[in-house]
Structure 1
Amino acid sequence: MLSSASSFRNYRGVLNWCVVMLVLSNARLFLENLLRYGILVDPIQVVSLFLKDPYSWPAACLVIGILGVCIDVHVLGSISEKVGLLIYIFNLTVILCFPMVVVLKLPSITPVGGAFTLGVYTILFLKLYSYKDVNRWCRVRTQVKARSLSRSLSCDCMQSHVSYPGNLSLRDMYYFVFAPTLCYELNFPRSESIRMGFLLRRLFEMVVFMSVRHISYLMFFQWMVPIIRSSMKPLQEMDYSRMTERLLRLAVPNHLIWLIFFYCFFHSSMNFVAELLRFGDREFYRDWWNSETITYFWQNWNIPVHKWCLRHFYKPLLRRGAGKLLSQSAVFFASAFFHEYLVSVPLRMFRLWAFMGMMAQLPLAWFVAKFLRGNYGNAAVWLSLIIGQPIAVLMYVHDYYVTHCQDDPTITEAL
């Protein structure tokens, strides 16, 4: 007797159907938005995200001032270990605190400009911390052992090997400052030459994505702003059903903008800089989209930060006797601190939403790793990404409105 059960394994048509339905549903929402609100995009609004006064560019001045910080750090090679350590601690503290004070005290810095400035200074802080650590390791070991800290090329063209203290030069430091990595090495892996075809492709992608960023601004002002405005009243009234509806509407445009930023920054821009500097290590991210656990996602979506945390924070804690769970929690705590630093300071308010969201990843990571596997785990990771970010956006925008805009009758009327 023959079985009538189907044995088909190819479900490509079902997947295509899902994609078509997703595109059509979002196209309907976009057209509905245009019909209801009209065209909301204003070039002046886009510029105002970065500048309040066209004749005052404090954020740009802060970024340019980074070069002077690097020069001051370089002179530490000629003084004693203890004095140098004290100067380094003071210098790293100033790198974090000085731009924060300027952003908080100077009203001409916009939240977007402040976040960009603090992001640049945070990158410099992590780089100089790594620079200090690696050179300290070299000083406490013999020259032979110091060579083991460096990495050699895997290609046929071998560069001249540099040993400590031959690496202490302005050229070496500035190469590290501009290189797309946070972890310092005496001998970075270098490519043999600049591949003009690869460089031009990345440049073309950057130009295209500069245009796509205008689409991101369009999505932000045309799609996200009306949703955020209409969310203020439900948030104030604690209307959970309407809050959930606004959250789900906000999730799609927010996630699309995040994906555009990820590809533009981690693939196009960083590969362009790496090729221009002949920087050989191009592992800026791994297949985080296949993550089946929260932990795998955090380890693979931002490789430079993950390597820095592993090398300069997680492993040193383990060597000093801290347990694995305590060390992982400390890394999450530090990451939550920097997320809060980059969000709350530019908004000039401290609500700890970013901090709480990051720390909430710990129990969520434990739950997913414990009870979910395979596709279920991957679906949980995607759900946390798509829903988690709009929750933080709504919380911060609501608090920013209450703190800065509630007494403005024009803004209140618009909402």
Structure 2
Amino acid sequence: MDDVKVQIPVSELRYYMQELKTEILNNLEAEISCTIERTIHKLERHNKPKVDNAHEKCSRLEKDELPEKRFFLRDSVLTDLWKVTHLSSAYNICVAMMLLLYFNTVLLYTVDTQRLEDDMAIINWAAGKRSVVILLWLGMKMSTTCVVYFLFKHWALLRPKKLIFGLLDYIFALTYLVYQIIFFIIPVMILIYYKLPPISSFAILAEQVRLSMKTHAFVRENIPRAVQFKLHQDNDEKDPRPYPCFANYLYFLFAPTLVYRDVYPRTFCIRWNYVAWNFLQFLTCIFTSCIAFHRFVVDIFQHVGHKPFTPVDFVLTLSGAMAVGSLAMFLVFYGFLHCWLNAFAELLCFGDRVFYQDWWNCTSFSKYYRTWNSVVYDWLYSYIYKDFYQVLGRSSAMVIVFLVSAIVHEYILALTFRFLYPVLFILFSSFGVLVVFLTRRRTSSGWNVFLWMSLFMGWGFLIMLYSMEWYARANNCPSYVHPYLDYIVPRSWSCSVFKIHSYQRIIDS
């Protein structure tokens, strides 16, 4: 058999080899620089050399300055773990359990066709008014794409040419603040006017928050660039331009990261089978969550307001809610943080795919918060924690980060369900902060058990309390006359949800 000869144009081959060389050198240079800096800092702290006042001041500033977020070419943790034979068996066990759940569901729907129609009707209603959702999403996306970039671009170009650039800075800051306020108000008004159902509302609100975080990241990262930009003395702009090119900004809007950089590590090809497999796994997680909520949430809580709960029912319901909450936690993590983000990273050739870390091994909640969702944590660290750390210190900056995270989560849930029931806010702002200090510097395996117990109980309470309040309102439990008071005071408190008089009769007898 003749040898098969593959002909590749020399120019194309040279281009790809040069790209590969540049990528390898950049990553290698970044790793070497980090290693050298850490080694030098260790030696300086060990030897403590005598320096003059200027050098001492510079060293103090460098010590107070927190490190920047760095991007490298690397895979997700589970992508590497699934390559290990023993750990891939755990994945196969989960797939087997999921297939059995699907088989049981298909069998149930085959026997009871009316249940299938009812469940499909619920899903169709919860994700309804899709045309409004699509148009609203397009409007938000176009606003973020065009308005923000061109507003920043014109400010950056006008700033070095005007003597009154101080006033121009205030005008830009005010305009940007007004834009952010309008960007939050108008979608909420449309969402309420069209009475979007829960899933549609959640999708719009989550996308609204994501785009707002992207906008702030872009502006926050490029303001120093525009401020430090100066024209050459002979009016020849030899310095780089004071704003990034539009292609970089557009790529950032779709990239699976919330921290802006002009350039990210990139892969060289798209594995379409990998993209399809991750999207398929994501849809599987969606279907599994729908089955779990129909079987364990709708069936249990739909009688709230009609049939009182006894204390025994409450305990049993909490146990079932913890099981559903635990399943929801795993599905959210694997479906979104692994499958969804990896699929988009592959489509965009985005190289740094550490969207989470090994949070399941954590023994402290501070490390858990840093590793559960690295995408959001990097944004909070880069644009909230670092800014307040310089002014207020470490503890105050950490508390502010928790408050911001709790407020945003509660904002999404309150508008999704159309009532304010701040269970998540309380868990974040009180228990969440407390356990950070309680588990700090804990390393024994017992604290890992405590972390898992806390997660299961937290998700269980969220599922149970929000479901009880939802069905208390759906079943027309007594409402308050004032609409604002009815929005913030839970109806499940005024409804005869809990039944304790039967136990009182037993005690009296």
Asked if TM exceeds 0.5, the reply is yes
| Matched AA of 1:354 | L
Query: Match of 1:182?
Result: 258
Query: Match of 1:303?
Result: 374
Matched, 1:319 2:390: yes
Matched, 1:249 2:320: yes
The offset of 1:218, in angstroms, is: 1.5
Query: Match of 2:74?
Result: none
Check conservation: 2:133, 2:200, Cα contact below 8 A. Answer: yes
User: Structure 2 CA distance, aligned partners of 1:202 and 1:373?
Assistant: 38
1:294-322 per-position Cα deviation (integer Å, ceiling 9, x unaligned): 111111011111111111000110112x1
CA RMSD of superposed structures (Å): 3.1
SS of match in other structure, 2:290: helix
Larger Rg: 2
Check conservation: 1:224, 1:254, Cα contact below 8 A. Answer: no
Check conservation: 2:317, 2:464, Cα contact below 8 A. Answer: no
| Matched AA of 1:376 | G
User: Structure 1 CA distance, aligned partners of 2:292 and 2:474?
Assistant: 24
Check conservation: 1:179, 1:273, Cα contact below 8 A. Answer: yes
| Matched AA of 1:187 | V
User: Structure 1 CA distance, aligned partners of 2:408 and 2:306?
Assistant: 30
The offset of 1:164, in angstroms, is: 4.4
User: Structure 1 CA distance, aligned partners of 2:458 and 2:373?
Assistant: 18
Query: Match of 1:88?
Result: 176
The offset of 1:166, in angstroms, is: 5.2
1:377-409 per-position Cα deviation (integer Å, ceiling 9, x unaligned): 11111112211112122222222233343259x
| Matched AA of 2:244 | N
1:304–1:221: structure 2 CA closer, same or farther, 3 Å change rule?
A: same
Query: Match of 1:384?
Result: 454
User: Structure 2 CA distance, aligned partners of 1:309 and 1:318?
Assistant: 12
1:52-95 per-position Cα deviation (integer Å, ceiling 9, x unaligned): x5xx6222221111232121112211134322222211111122
The offset of 1:184, in angstroms, is: 0.7
Q: How many residues align?
A: 355
| Matched AA of 1:382 | W
The offset of 1:187, in angstroms, is: 2.2
User: Structure 1 CA distance, aligned partners of 2:243 and 2:341?
Assistant: 28
1:226-265 per-position Cα deviation (integer Å, ceiling 9, x unaligned): 233366678x66x444312211112223322331232121
Matched, 1:128 2:215: yes
Query: Match of 1:98?
Result: 186
Query: Match of 1:194?
Result: 269
Matched, 1:349 2:419: yes
Query: Match of 1:398?
Result: 468
| Matched AA of 1:45 | I
Query: Match of 2:279?
Result: 206
Matched, 1:289 2:289: no
Matched, 1:45 2:93: no
SS of match in other structure, 2:257: coil
| Matched AA of 1:335 | S
Query: Match of 2:290?
Result: 217
Identity, % of aligned positions: 21
User: Structure 1 CA distance, aligned partners of 2:112 and 2:428?
Assistant: 37
1:107-143 per-position Cα deviation (integer Å, ceiling 9, x unaligned): 2x10111011000010000010011111102123358
Query: Match of 1:5?
Result: none
1:1-53 per-position Cα deviation (integer Å, ceiling 9, x unaligned): xxxxxxxxxxx9xxx9xx99xx8xx99xx89xx79x967442222221100x5
1:350–1:277: structure 2 CA closer, same or farther, 3 Å change rule?
A: same
**Among residues 292, 295, 301, which one is paired with 1:228 in the alignment?**
301
TM-score (norm 2): 0.64
Query: Match of 1:338?
Result: 408
Name structure 2 gaps, 5 residues minimum.
1-85, 156-167, 231-238, 479-494, 496-509
